[in-house]
Amino acid sequence: METNTLHTLLDVVSHFVERNQVAEITPLGNGLINDTFKVMVHGDEKPRYVLQRINNAVFTDVEMLQRNIELVTGHLRSKGILTLHFLTADTGKTYIKEDDKYWRVMDYIPDSYTYEAVTPEYARCAGRKFGEFEAQLTDLKEPIGEIIPDFHNIEFRLRQLDEAIAANPVGRMNDLEVQLYVEKIKAVADEMCIGERLYREGKLPKRICHCDTKVNNMLFDKDGNVMCIIDLDTIMPSFVFSDFGDFLRSAANTGAEDDPDLDNVHFNMSIFEAFAQGYLEGAKSFLLPVEIEHLPYAAMLFPYMQTVRFFADYINGDTYYKIRYPEHNMVRTRAQWKLFEEAKAKSGEMAEIVNRFAF
């Protein structure tokens, strides 16, 4: 928090709320991109607002970012669905720019909880909610901008990896283990690009998706019901595989995303089964057979894509993801690869489960 002193944070917040209302501002959550804080107001026991510094190296078009979010939240709200609400600043916009930094403030949703791991029961509920979320956005008339172009395009991510390998800016390609991972990743690259091929052939549509359905991007109430889907920055047109795959990448992993002990990392089929059941219920009104058939592929694709992304960042010298120690991105790479291999081994079983619930 070095650059975000309390004084700066107070200055920023005062563009959105009365400065002398604010009692305390402290860090919140563990996202890898934006910096997030909770804001306490005098006389309240629970936080009132969430303050966020938008990472504009990642989200370069903040105007489009907030426009997308306002369109989506407005649409959901008009259907009576609980969603994030952003405060309008004294500039008339839902964000401010100060010293080349971008900030926004949203209402804190009280009595809500986030988890890094869930039970099958919670996963079923999350699946239904993400399926419904996509269904609720199918009739959004205004176009949503592609806030990070090619965000979940695995062909693009593989090209970025190739560029990192060729540039080798910090010499990490000299390591034997790194070279081995390059080989392993390339050996399955072709089969992992089937989604993009189907899209080019006109067989697979894009939908408005959340594109960051990590388990910690949902708020649950104390009984395990999903209250609200959060972290709406990456909402954009994508294959439904994004939302299905990224939830399982985080929730079906019995270990941590960056688990240094690979014996902890397994793909939990009970979570897959429960999530698939919930998701198919929530999304059945619009899903095409080609989307349903490829859900097991989605469960493999996301650990694979995350391996490629963490690995490219490692080779690039850690310029994208926040890291806590020098080898962090390599540790993440190993853990995501292990998860990918397990998911791949279980894809037949996944297909049987999907068929059971879908047809």
Nearest distance, CB of residue 352 and Mg ion, angstroms: 32
Residues with Cβ within 8 Å of 327's Cβ and at least 6 positions away in sequence, in order, are none
| Spatial contact of 126 and 118, defined as CB atoms under 8 Å apart | yes
Residue found by looking up tokens 């419904």 in the block = 132
| Residue 31 sits in the site that holds Mg ion (CB under 5 A) | yes
Residue type (1 letter), 279: Y
257 or 318: CB nearest ligand GN1: 257
Stretch that binds ligand GN1, among 25-33, 46-54, 78-86, 99-107 (CB under 6 A): 25-33
Q: Which residues contact 354 (CB under 8 A, 6 or more apart)?
A: 276, 280, 292, 293, 295, 296
- Minimum Å distance from CB 58 to ligand GN1? 5
- Closest approach, Cβ 284 to ligand GN1, in A, equals 26
Output the CA angle 31-36-84, nearest 5 degrees.
90
CB 359 to ligand GN1: min, Å: 31
Among 17, 58, 64, 178, binds ligand GN1 (CB under 6 A): 58
Binder to ligand GN1 among 52, 68, 306, 307 (CB under 6 A)?
A: 306
Q: Which of the ranges 30-38, 42-50, 160-168, 350-358 carries the binding residues for ligand GN1, by CB under 6 A?
A: 30-38
Q: Which is nearer to Mg ion, 172 or 309 (CB)?
A: 309
Helix (H, G, I), strand (E, B), or coil: what is residue 240? coil
**Of 306 and 316, which CB lies nearer to ligand GN1 in the complex structure?**
306
Nearest to 192 by CA among 155, 237, 165, 162: 155
**Residue 132 interacting entry, from ligand GN1, Mg ion, none, C-beta within 5 to 8 Å by type:** none
Contact positions with ligand GN1 (CB under 6 A) in 85-124: none
Structure tokens at 95: 């964000």
Task: Decide which of ligand GN1, Mg ion, none touches 83; Cβ closer than 5 to 8 Å per partner kind.
Answer: none
Whichever of 52 and 277 has its CB closer to ligand GN1, that residue is 52
- Angle, nearest 10°, between helix axes 154-167 and 176-187? 150
194 binds ligand GN1 (CB under 6 A): no
Find the binder of Mg ion among 134, 231, 233, 291 (CB under 5 A). 231
DSSP 93-156: SS-EEETTEEEEEEE--TT-B--SS--HHHHHHHHHHHHHHHHHTTT--SPPP-SSTTTT-HHH
Q: Give phi and psi for 205, each to the nearest 5.
A: -85, 165
Looking at the Cβ atoms of 277 and 316, the one nearer to ligand GN1 is 316
Which residue, chain included where needed, has tokens 């002398």?
Answer: 20
- How far apart CA 161 and CA 14 sit, in angstroms, is 42
Q: Which of residues 289-348 bind Mg ion (CB under 5 A)?
A: none
35's contact among Mg ion, ligand GN1, none, with CB below 5 to 8 A by partner kind, is none
Choose from Mg ion, ligand GN1, none: what does 243 bind? Cβ within 5-8 Å by kind: none
Q: Which of the ranges 17-25, 31-39, 43-51, 348-356 carries the binding residues for ligand GN1, by CB under 6 A? A: 31-39
Output 234 or 238, the one with its CB closest to ligand GN1. 234
What are the phi and psi torsion angles at 50 (to 5°)?
-115, 125
Structure-token pair, residue 184: 């392993």
**Where in 171-230 is the site for Mg ion (CB under 5 A)?**
217
Are residues 279 and 246 in contact, defined by beta-carbon separation less than 8 angstroms?
Answer: no
Task: By CB under 6 A, tell whether 259 contacts ligand GN1.
Answer: no
Query: Which of Mg ion, ligand GN1, none sits in contact with 257, Cβ below 5 to 8 A by type?
Result: ligand GN1
Give CA separation, 149 vs 39, 60, 120, 209, in Å: 32, 11, 33, 14
Binding site for ligand GN1 (CB under 6 A): 31-33, 58, 212, 214, 217, 231, 234, 257, 306
Binding site for Mg ion (CB under 5 A): 31, 217, 231
